[in-house]
């Protein structure tokens, strides 16, 4: 069976088995970002300040500045912030992160010491980590990494984001739309999820997307009240794993609309299908493909499996006068659900 793209951690989404290109190309050099005094930020550090995670960006910033933790501690003290070198070490290792008001104030001073743009590190923190009663209860649902047990890069990438709330969000409705250009290449993929919290505390959604071959992954853009959190990119396998952060943690029974887009840059990837891996039940899942009128498919089919491993059952789809085709899965999952098309 040929390889297929990974679902979105919407857990559910996935796409082109053939290729995906990235929006702010992870494999390409980024322009230097000016620091507070006009000094350029190295390209590798600029990338981490955009994608995170926080510990990696902090380590890179400290390395680029060439200061020991003791010297950084001394410069922070001169700016009125008392932070031990042990605390700085725990921040850059990921064991802890600044959350208290005094720590966040120290982080602002730290950005100045490291000659970073104001707010560059703070933007990577996301909402405060839940504590005590906010911690999710154990779940019998499969974890994200269990969906792709043979893909080590997915598991490694998921280890770098916070997936603890995935099993605590019920998927009520999901809609994913793939837009193709006049050459049949992918322009973007838009997704909207209607989710309900099964406990107090969920504060993010995880999306996983993979190309069918190596290449720069797409750029993740959150919409509405959500924002993009940590992003892990693996250009060697065309993989991107990203956090979509909520405005505030949800209480049990709360619902939220999570919307985001994966944007591609030239050369956009080619594909002849879009697939979502639904590793947990979804009440309603809508898949849609928008073809350019200048490039309509010769045939188009939806397909769905009875579970994650079984053979799919297909159904012929009609492409309407606007060049759009869609398929709906009700009370679906765990399963694979997709649309495929041919040009001849």
Indicate whether 298 pLDDT > 90.
yes
Q: In the prediction, which pLDDT does 12 show? A: 38
- For 321, how many CA atoms within 13 A lie in the half-sphere containing its CB? 0
78 contacts: CB under 8 Å, gap ≥ 6: none
Dist. CA 292–CA 171, nearest whole Å: 30
Indicate whether 293 pLDDT > 60.
yes
Cβ-based burial of 232 (10 A; exposed 0-12, middle 13-18, buried ≥19)? buried
Q: In the prediction, which pLDDT does 332 show? A: 85
E-state strands within the chain: 33-34, 40-41, 169-180, 186-197, 204-210, 219-222, 227-234, 239-245, 255-263, 273-278, 282-290, 299-304, 313-316, 324-332, 335-342
Place of tokens 């679902």: 7
Q: What is the pLDDT of residues 39-80, one digit of tens each?
A: 667 888 888 888 778 888 898 899 888 889 889 999 999 999
Indicate whether 217 pLDDT > 70.
yes
Strand, helix or coil for residue 101: helix
Look at the alpha carbons of 36, 40, 44, 50 in this order and tell me if their dihedral is positive or negative. positive
Average pLDDT over residues 133-143: 49
Dist. CA 301–CA 305, nearest whole Å: 14
For the beta carbon of residue 248, count every other beta carbon within 10 angstroms: 12
**φ, ψ for residue 302 (rounded to 5)?**
-95, 155
Question: What pTM does this model have?
Answer: 0.60
Report whether 279 contacts 144 (CB < 8 A): yes
Q: What is the pLDDT of residues 186-210, one digit of tens each?
A: 999 999 999 999 999 999 999 998 8
Dist. CA 261–CA 228, nearest whole Å: 11
Mind listing the domains of the chain with CATH numbers? 36-116 (no CATH), 161-342 (2.60.40)
Residues in a beta bridge with 243: 206
User: In terms of Cα–Cα distance, which of 211, 166, 213, 215 is closest to 193?
Assistant: 166
Dist. CA 145–CA 155, nearest whole Å: 5
Helix, strand, coil abundance in the chain, percent, nearest 5: 20, 30, 45
Q: In the prediction, which pLDDT does 246 show? A: 95
Hey, what are 264's tokens? 């591609």
Q: Which residues of 12-45 are buried (b: 16+ CB within 10 A; e: fewer)?
A: bbbbbbbbbbbbbbbeeebeebebeeeeebeeeb
Report whether 278 contacts 336 (CB < 8 A): yes
């Amino acid at each position: 069976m040929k390889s297929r793209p990974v679902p979105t951690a919407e857990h559910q989404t996935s796409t082109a088995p053939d290729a995906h290109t990235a929006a702010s190309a992870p494999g390409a050099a980024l322009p230097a970002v000016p620091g507070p005094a006009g000094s350029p930020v190295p390209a590798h550090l600029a990338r981490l300040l955009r994608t995170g995670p926080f510990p990696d960006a902090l380590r890179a910033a400290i390395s680029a500045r060439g200061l020991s933790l003791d010297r950084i501690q001394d410069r922070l003290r001169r700016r009125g912030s008392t932070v031990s070198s042990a605390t700085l070490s725990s921040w850059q290792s990921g064991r802890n992160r600044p959350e208290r008001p005094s720590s966040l104030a120290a982080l602002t001073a730290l950005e100045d010491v490291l000659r970073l743009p104001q707010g560059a590190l703070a933007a990577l923190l996301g909402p405060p980590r839940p504590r005590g009663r906010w911690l999710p209860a154990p779940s019998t649902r499969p974890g994200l990494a269990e969906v792709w047990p043979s893909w080590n890069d997915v598991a490694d990438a998921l280890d770098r984001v916070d997936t603890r709330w995935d099993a605590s969000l019920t998927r009520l409705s999901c809609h994913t739309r793939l837009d193709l250009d006049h050459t049949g290449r992918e322009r973007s993929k838009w997704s909207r999820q209607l989710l309900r919290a099964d406990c107090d505390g969920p504060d993010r959604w995880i999306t996983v997307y993979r190309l069918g071959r190596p290449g720069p992954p797409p750029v993740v853009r959150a919409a509405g009240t959500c924002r993009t959190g940590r992003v892990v990119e693996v250009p060697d396998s065309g993989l991107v794993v990203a956090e979509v952060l909520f405005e505030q943690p949800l209480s049990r029974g709360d619902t939220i609309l999570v919307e985001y887009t994966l944007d591609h840059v030239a050369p956009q990837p080619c594909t002849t299908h879009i697939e979502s891996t639904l590793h947990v039940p979804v009440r309603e899942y809508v898949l849609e493909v928008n073809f350019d009128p200048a490039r309509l498919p010769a045939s188009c089919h939806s397909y769905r499996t009875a579970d994650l491993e079984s053979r799919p059952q297909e159904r012929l789809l009609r492409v309407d006068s606007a060049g759009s085709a869609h398929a709906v899965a009700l009370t679906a999952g765990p399963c694979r659900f997709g649309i495929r098309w041919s040009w001849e």
